[in-house]
Amino acid sequence: MVVSGAGAAAIACMNLLVALGMQKHNIVVCDSKGVIYKDREPNMAETKAAYAVEDDGKRTLEDVIEGADIFLGCSGPKVLTRRWCRRWRARQ
């Protein structure tokens, strides 16, 4: 699952999904700076750090959205592009 946004709503949704059985390692979170990965920034908020992934070189929402089965949009408008949606449709 890819999550756009790392504010209170996104964190609450992710916490609920984890409580329902989703594995944290299956969640990639992007904020306004891109993918939240371990050691991205010093003093990262605990709520973000809890969902930080290992650094695999992917830095943007576009980088991580390609293989996603679920997209959770908890950020501003017009983050998801039509081009990305077409890629999902092509996978079916």
Query: What are the domain boundaries of the chain?
Result: 2-91
pLDDT of 55 strictly over 70: yes
Q: What is the pLDDT of residue 92?
A: 65
Q: What are phi and psi of 28, to 5 degrees?
A: -120, 125
**pLDDT digit string (tens) for 58-70?**
999 999 998 888 9
The domain made up of 2-91 has a fold known as Rossmann fold (3.40.50)
Task: Please list, in sequence order, all residues whose beta carbon lies within 8 angstroms of the beta carbon of residue 60, skipping any fewer than 6 positions away.
Answer: 30, 34, 35
pTM for the complete prediction? 0.91
